[in-house]
Each structure stands twice: as C-alpha cells, then as structure tokens.
Amino acid sequence: MKKFSITIAGGGSTFTPGIVLMLLDNLDKFPIGEIKFFDNDEDRQATIAGATEVILQEKAPDISFTATTDPKTAFSNTDFVMAHIRSGKYAMREKDEKIPLKHGCVGQETCGPGGIAYGMRSIGDVLELIDFMDEYSPDAWFLNYSNPAAIVAEATRKLRPNSNILNICDMPIGIEELMANAIGLNSRKEMEVRYYGLNHFGWWTDIRDKEGNDLLPQIREHVSKFGYVTKDESLQHSDASWNSTFAKAKDVQALDPETVPNTYLKYYFYPDYEVAKSNPDYTRANEVMDGREKFVFGECQKIIDEGTAKNSELHIDEHASYIVDLARAIAYNTKERMLLIVENNGAISNFEPTAMVEVPCLVGSQGPEPLTQGEIPRFQKGLMEQQVAVEKLVVEAFEEGSYQKLWQALTLSKIVPSAQVAKDLLEDLIEANKDYWPELK
Ligand code: NAD
Ligand code: G6P
Ligand code: MN
C-alpha cells in the first residue's frame, strides 16, 4: 500500500498537534510515510515540531519528519497539503474583532468587517502556498481550511481555477455531532444530510438515517427548545462563548422552523444582541490566547522538556478525522459524501452559478461532484445573494487594489448599518492591516 506524504502548512497552528495525533490514529486507513511542517514563523513552529518529533519517535518511528520554513523542502514530493494558516496570527485576529466593536458592529473572525479584513490578509498567503504546491508537486491536492474559508474559496475559484483545491469547514461536522448526540445516535456518520448555503451561512433541509427514516422532525424539535446544547458535555467546546453560540441556535432556527441552521447565522440575524454581550476589551481572540494557545504550547514544551509524551494531556482531535476522510476520498476514490465549499454551477438551481456554495458532494479521485439541492426559498436566497456579493467584492478589491470595492463590500455586509460606518471602519482597518493588505487606490 502506498504511504502518503503530507505537508501541514501552518505547522505552528494550535490545531496541528491534534491533527497529527488524529493522523497517527488512522494509519491503518490512511498510511503515511512522511510528514512535513511548513510555517513562516520558525520559532512558533519549533515548539509544535519539537513535541511532534517526540510523539512520532514513540508512536510511529518509521514516519519521516521535517519542519521547515523553506517552500521547496516543504512542498516537494508531497501528496496532500493540509493548510490551516492564520495570516497575521492572533494579534491580527484580536484587531479583526475589536475594531468593528469600536464602531458598534459585530467583531468576529470570519463574519462581517472582521472576516473581510482577515480575507484581505489570507487571500495572498493562501495563493502563495498553492503556487508552491503547483511548482514542486503539481499532482498533489490542497485541502484548505484556512479562514475565512468563504472568501479564500472564492479567491481560489477565480484566481487559481486549474489547481487541485478542496475547501472545507468543520462547523457542519461539529454541529452534526451535536445533532446525533441529541437524538441518541452514536455518530454523525449514521446520518445522511441535505444542506445548502455559503460557508458559515447555511441550512440543513433533510436528515435521514441510512434506512431513509426522517430524523429532521426530532432534531428540529430539539433545536427549537435547546439549540444545539446537548446533555453530553464532552461534545461541547469547553468555552462558555461556544455554549452560548449553541444555545442561540434556537433563536436562529425560529426564522425558518422547517430547517435547522448553521450557528454562524446568529451574527447576521442578531447582531445587536451579539454586540451588547461582547466585551470590547476581551474578545474570542483573548479567550483563545489565554486558553487553547497557552494549553497547546505549554503541553508541547512539556513534551520537549521531558523527552516523552507519556504525561501529555494533548488529545486526538477526533473531530478532525474528516480530514482523513477527505484525503482518503481523493486517494482511494471512495466517493464519500461530504459537505464542501464548491462552485455552485447549478447545484442550487435558482442561485448564481459562479458562487462558492456549501453543499453535499461525492468526493473521488477527480475531486468533488456536487449534489443538486434544487431551488431555495426567497428568504435564504435574499440573504445569500447579499452575502455572496460581499465575498466576491472582497476578492475583486484584493485583485484590483480597489478601495471603492472594499467600501462597497463593507457597506453591503448585513452586519454594517451604513455606508458612513463602513467608511470609518475601512479607514481603521486599512491602518491596522497596512503590513498585510495590498495597497488600495
Ligand atoms: P494559529 O495562529 O495558532 O496557527 C496558524 C499558523 O499559521 C501560525 O503558526 C502562523 O505562523 C502560520 N502562518 C501564518 N501565515 C502564514 C503563511 N503565510 N505561511 C505559512 N504559515 C503561516 O491559528 P489557529 O487558531 O490554530 O487556526 C489556524 C487556521 O485554521 C485559522 O485560519 C483558523 O481560522 C482555521 N480553522 C478553520 C477551521 C474551518 O472550519 N475551516 C476550523 C478550525 C480552524
Ligand atoms: C469553527 C469554525 C472555524 C473557526 C473555529 C473558531 O470550528 O468552523 O471556521 O475557525 O470555529 O474557533 P476558535 O476556537 O478559534 O474561536
Ligand atoms: Mn469554519
């Protein structure tokens, strides 16, 4: 059996150790001969890489391992690039969240002004990684989950149409695990779903078990009472802010009781509520820096110091096993059904063909085949048209260096109340992002 070579771009990510442990846990299904880390921050990556070396020595000494900042080393002879970079790191995430709040708008990593600012940083960096892959391993596949995935996906569609790229998000997977738990199933894999939307902006319209029994009524009832909060606390993200997001899904679902929604829609439906409960001096970025980042880097340093991972509390990110499913689908032509962010091209029949939409696809060695979801209702169509226009305008603004288009994008965002607020925001965001954005004219 072929042993695959994997490049993890964003080797210094807080998610890297969980993904490595997950890959090691799945070697029978997906054999690996080589893992390479690539990051543009050598020091940050060194801590995660140092711990990974110890972990591999103990669990899988046959896998060769390199951590590098050199693109040629990282991207040569690779089969899959798993990309989760964060352009500007948490310092810039903090600004993406705090600057909008200063203007009375939702401050969020991927939605509204924060997502637009992050998009303008991410596009160039992700395209650069794709170019490295295309230069050094042109047959490889690029599995992207770098955010904001909606904007990055549109940029890859438009600017790298011939590269092998799959854009994916773990939010629907996380929510499906909660749904499965709420109705007493062992795993989300017992469910087959129909879903449509944009990334962080979608709805489940049909959920069945493998025999075809309709599970949606039960799930709808649970969500209408409790959102996605379930009794099994091990499934919840441990932070309070995530639990309040899962609870708020109840109010999001009330807008269309026939379906169940993606949690991210709360930022578009209840922005006033979100702003009111935000602390402009301590946002999710601070929570992550004080929580996940300290924990992961602390545990990795401990592994390095002790020379063993046997006392480590780092855990397998089970949740991330969709990454193996995706790689296996390509490698072995499994035709697994997965939600991906793909060019619409008729999958939603009454929606813009060139929009990047999130829909179920069959994934095989030729890539994804989107499954048709038919016509969508006026409410969702209206919301999605507005949001997809924002995403496309951001990519055009990046491409053309256009101040005007970025102002239009911010003005069109449902989260921003007026063109004046959009302009004030834009001025602040330009200043904060001057080391990252292309110059706007
Ligand atoms: P992190 O800051 O801990 O890790 C990101 C790493 O990327 C850092 O080590 C940084 O140095 C590196 N990096 C930044 N720019 C780079 C570049 N141009 N080239 C190479 N490396 C670069 O962040 P995190 O919280 O672990 O998240 C990582 C990414 O994964 C984020 O984009 C996050 O939004 C994304 N994410 C996506 C999903 C999804 O559903 N799609 C789920 C979880 C996380
Ligand atoms: C979910 C989303 C990701 C997002 C992450 C943020 O997993 O699908 O797109 O990056 O949440 O989580 P965090 O813990 O960093 O706030
Ligand atoms: Mn996501």
Model ipTM value: 0.98
Q: Quickly state the pLDDT bin for 260 (edges 50, 70, 90).
A: very high
Q: DSSP label at 439?
A: P
Mean pLDDT of the chain: 97
pLDDT at position 361 is 98
| Known catalytic residue at 170 | yes
Which tokens in the block code for residue 422? 């959009």
376 by DSSP, 3-state: which? coil
Distance, CA of 207 to CA of 184 (rounded, Å): 14
Q: Over the stretch 239-257, which tens digit does the pLDDT of each residue have?
A: 888 999 999 999 999 999 9
Contact call for residues 101 and 275 (beta carbons, < 8 A): yes
**Residue bearing tokens 């288009």:** 405
Q: For helices 16-25 and 42-59, give the axis angle rounded to 10 degrees.
A: 20
403-421 per-position pLDDT tens digit:
999 999 999 999 999 999 9
Q: Is the pTM of this model over 0.95?
A: yes
Task: Provide the pLDDT for residue 319.
Answer: 84
Per-residue pLDDT at 240: 84
The ligand placed nearest to the CA atom of residue 15 is: 1
Active-site hit among 264, 267, 268, 322: 264
CB contact at 8 A, 440 and 397: yes
| Cα–Cα distance for residue pair 200/225, rounded to 1 Å | 22
Please give the pLDDT value at position 304: 98
Per-residue model confidence (pLDDT) at position 232: 76
pLDDT at 238: 67
Mean pLDDT of 1-13: 97
Q: Looking at residue 1, what is its pLDDT?
A: 87
Residue 363 in this model has a pLDDT that exceeds 90: yes
pLDDT above 80: residue 233: no
Q: How high is the pLDDT of residue 251?
A: 98
**145 CB less than 6 Å from ligand 1?**
yes
Question: What mean pLDDT comes out for the span 201-228?
Answer: 98
The tens digit of pLDDT for each residue in 149-172 reads: 999 999 999 999 999 999 999 999
DSSP three-state, residue 283: coil
Residue 236 has pLDDT above 60, yes or no: no
Task: Work out the average pLDDT over 322-339.
Answer: 98
Q: In this prediction, what percent of the chain has a pLDDT beyond 70? A: 99
The token pair that represents 142 in the structure block = 């690029």
Q: Relative to the CA of 237, which ligand 2 atom is closest?
A: 14
Instruction: List all residues whose CB is within 6 A of at least one atom of ligand 2.
Output: 110, 147, 169-171, 284, 288
Answer positive or negative: Cα dihedral of 300, 306, 307, 310.
negative
pLDDT in tens, 45-61: 999 999 999 999 999 99
Q: Are 270 and 248 in contact (CB under 8 A)?
A: yes
The Cα-based distances of 105 to 124, 414, 426 in angstroms read: 26, 10, 13
Q: Between residues 237 and 102, which one has the greater pLDDT?
A: 102
Q: Give tens-digit pLDDT for 59-97.
A: 999 999 999 999 999 999 999 999 999 999 999 999 999
Average pLDDT over residues 108-123: 98
* DSSP category for residue 43: H
With a 6 Å cutoff on the Cβ, whether 41 touches ligand 1 is: yes
Q: Assess whether pLDDT exceeds 80 at residue 398.
A: yes
267 given a catalytic annotation:
no
Q: What is the mean pLDDT of residues 348-371?
A: 98
Counting atoms of ligand 2 from 1, which one is nearest the CA of 284? Answer: 16
Q: Is the pLDDT of residue 180 over 90?
A: yes
Look at ligand 2, atom 14, and give the residue with the nearest C-alpha. 288
Q: Which residues are annotated as a binding site?
A: 93, 147, 169, 200, 284
CA 281 – ligand 3 centroid, Å: 24
The pLDDT of residue 235 is: 64
Specify the residue with its C-alpha closest to ligand 1, atom 37: 145
CA of 11 to the centre of ligand 1 (A): 9
Is the Cβ–Cβ distance between 62 and 35 less than 8 Å? no
